Structure 1
Amino acid sequence: MDEERRGVYPFCGPCTAGSEAWRAAEAAGPMGARFYGHRDVCENCGSSVRTLYNTVLWIPVSKVGTFRIVPTGGRSYVGRRVVDPPVRTVVRREPVSAIVDHPELDGSPEYKQAEVYWDENEPGQALPFYQAALVEREKVLAADDPATLRVRLRVAQGLLATANYGRAIAWFELVTPQLVDVFGPHHELTRAATEATTGARLMVGGPRSEARLLADIVAADTESLPSGDPQVLRDRAALGKAQLACGDISDAVETLSAVVRDAPSAHPDTEVYRAALIEACTVAEARGKKRDGRLVDTARQVLSRADAPTNR
């Protein structure tokens, strides 16, 4: 956060307020995407509004959306999706947590110490205490219970603050869809997660750098942890999402299929992993390659296994 301009670096406050965090996928060859236009140049941050189109043989065929872009040299850039002012609707009621039946969780020494460090702007000091508090919460509360999600978000933010970018991205990839489902897309916690994810990716340097970093993390995971360990699943799922953003679609389908296969059924985290695999399958089917078709068939079998949830 730029304290003077009150925006998400490198965008100023007004441009941040009129846009949302966005992840650009890498594309190469004749099929990809391209920006057209250059308007509404901001005097504060220098960003401009451009329209992104899907292209075939470098010819625009369909509109993706409108974005604020700040060039960062060469063909690289930082972008945010332009959003229309939200239509005023009934405010979503704050979700009720089952923690009301477990007041000892908020009173635990680990959680209280974590909150003290956080209030003192010491996220690195708070992180191990939040991690310990999260272990205790997940023993009695659902993974997507509002009280659990608040601590999960703090763990992700603590990892980001201590420059553990790969594992921070993995946590944000998992917790952001859950925050959207429980609190809504415009809640302050959801926005904090989406903006923090963008910040982590800026520090890493793009989808390919992110995929390499996560591949190294997954390799380290598998040396010491079983395939079904929550950390392994979380990191591998983030790797699959990064592979998809790179355009390595077959790798993404394989990675995410293995995650869903190893994940526990009827668990809120597994729902997030299943949604990611469904997205990868949709992209693979649209590409129409023969090898992709075989991988998608296998992935669909994993998704339709007898013990899989059916609400996605």
Structure 2
Amino acid sequence: MTDERRGVYPFCAPCTAASEAWRTAELTGPMGGRFYGHHDVCENCGSSVRTLYNTVLWVPVSKAGRYRIIPTGGRSYVARRVVDEPVAAVVRREPVAVAHPELDATPEYRLAEACWAESEPGQALPHYQAALAEREQVLAADDPATLRVRLRVAQGLLATANYGRAIAWFELITPQLVAVFGPHHELTRAATEAVTGARLMVGGPRSEALLLTDIVAADIDRLAATDRQLVRDRAALGKALLACGDISDAVEALIQVVRDAVPGHPDTAVYRAALTEACEVAEARGKKRDVQLAGAARQLLSRADAPTSR
């Protein structure tokens, strides 16, 4: 592979540097989106820049952004959002945790780091998971120190081909990484690029939804309804269904997530935001049942006793 090709597969390095990872949704139907144009073709990776328009009754009504597109056969493609000028990051707080050196000195964390350094993600993963459990007893789930280990757990799942659970982790932690470190921090970019790679391996929103459906079914058979893994996997399923255009199923899944989430926990803010996004899609593009479900979801989100972030 040449230097020009050392980007994020299948995009070359220059095209990767000028764009950011983007979740590809299914853009069919009268109320959706459609790409127009075909210019700035890259000689290295063959991608081209196209403009995404929101459509109503198949008529383009507004621009939704510019993307680098590589067709992968039929109507399928991979895409990255073109970044014209990086926006200055506005982070929620300084990305520096209160020092907890005793956590970095724990046996589980040291073993995990040693295995990871030796390129043994399968051996590192259970130690990272154990180290994460220790950290979350002391630090908040969205503490900068905790987020670094959460990211490593997600990367470990991806490296061991556990794509569905990796996607679920990345869906949860990426908004937290953005809030704490900013959208252009190396950790945030690592997460967004990794989840793009996971989705490429899975094969698109429909395949992702099918995979996560099986994972959630397995979770339900052995976990309590409020178990964090089940809630996390179901949230990822909801977002995958939304990307497929299955709006009612997405809203229903995310309603269940918000009902089962822990009140006051940092993760709950991510789930509430996902449900809010699904409501907005339902109200803008959905059918009558979708809009009704969105109304029920809005009531859940507005209730005084609904799970909410601190």
- TM (norm. structure 1) is 0.94
Find out whether 1:223 has 2:215 as its counterpart.
Answer: no
CA shift, 1:307, in A, is 3.1
Checking the alignment, whether the CA contact within 8 Å between 1:2 and 1:9 is kept in structure 2 is: no
CA shift, 1:30, in A, is 2.7
1:180-229: CA deviation from partner (whole Å, max 9, x where unpaired): 00111010000000000100000000001000000000000000000100
Checking the alignment, whether the CA contact within 8 Å between 2:4 and 2:13 is kept in structure 1 is: no
Q: What secondary structure, in the 3-state scheme, does the structure 2 residue paired with 1:86 have?
A: coil
Find out whether 1:307 has 2:281 as its counterpart.
Answer: no
* Equivalent in 263, 269, 290 of residue 261 of structure 2: 263
Q: Distance in 1 between matches of 2:53 and 2:227?
A: 40
Aligned length: 310
Match of residue 69 from structure 1? 69
Q: Distance in 1 between matches of 2:95 and 2:89?
A: 17
Q: Percent identity?
A: 80
CA shift, 1:7, in A, is 0.1
Match of residue 38 from structure 1? 38
1:155-197: CA deviation from partner (whole Å, max 9, x where unpaired): 0000000000000000000000000001110100000000001
Match of residue 148 from structure 2? 150
Match of residue 80 from structure 1? 80
Checking the alignment, whether the CA contact within 8 Å between 2:140 and 2:146 is kept in structure 1 is: yes
* Equivalent in 168, 191, 194 of residue 193 of structure 1: 191
Amino acid at match of 2:236: A
RMSD over aligned CA atoms reads 2.1
Q: What secondary structure, in the 3-state scheme, does the structure 2 residue paired with 1:78 have?
A: strand
Q: What secondary structure, in the 3-state scheme, does the structure 2 residue paired with 1:276 have?
A: helix
Checking the alignment, whether the CA contact within 8 Å between 1:110 and 1:133 is kept in structure 2 is: yes
Q: Distance in 1 between matches of 2:211 and 2:141?
A: 26
Worse-superposed segment, 26-35 or 179-188: 26-35
Checking the alignment, whether the CA contact within 8 Å between 2:206 and 2:244 is kept in structure 1 is: yes
5+ residue gaps, structure 1, are none
5+ residue gaps, structure 2, are none
Match of residue 112 from structure 2? 114
* Equivalent in 196, 199, 202 of residue 200 of structure 2: 202
Match of residue 13 from structure 1? 13
Checking the alignment, whether the CA contact within 8 Å between 2:37 and 2:51 is kept in structure 1 is: yes
Q: Distance in 2 between matches of 1:2 and 1:21?
A: 22
Amino acid at match of 2:208: E
* Equivalent in 274, 280, 283 of residue 281 of structure 2: 283
Checking the alignment, whether the CA contact within 8 Å between 1:141 and 1:148 is kept in structure 2 is: yes
Checking the alignment, whether the CA contact within 8 Å between 2:263 and 2:308 is kept in structure 1 is: no
